[in-house]
Amino acid sequence: MLEYFLSMLMLVFAIASVIAGIFTTYFGSGKSKVVGAILIIVGIIVFILFLWGARVLKIGAVPDLMDFAGAVINGIVAVAGALVGALIALGIFLLTIIKT
């Protein structure tokens, strides 16, 4: 159970950190650009750790806590299913609002 939580936490944190860093460096000024660059670097490091834990990168032995090779597929499928369900519900909601 912890493998699902940790794998999705690392994946989503890495993606969100890189995206936030890109926006901060592009639209920010001065010190904000430095913070954006740090966010990008941290996101890339966490993504590399995620790939290592998922056994995509074979850099030595993976600790038991980070051994979530099978959990990644199940977690991504679960998140994709949740997103599809949310988008269907949102589409039905918008259609009913537009039609009334």
In one letter, which amino acid is 44? Answer: I
pLDDT of residue 71: 79
User: What is the Cα–Cα distance from 72 to 86, expressed in whole angstroms?
Assistant: 21
Taking CA atoms, 77 is separated from 54, 67, 99, in Å, by: 15, 18, 33
Predicted local confidence at residue 42, as pLDDT: 96
71 and 4 in contact (C-beta within 8 Å)?
yes
How high is the pLDDT of residue 90?
A: 93
- Binned average pLDDT, 10 residues per bin, the chain of 100 residues: 82 92 90 93 94 82 77 81 93 88
Closest C-alpha among 56, 58, 49 to residue 7 = 49
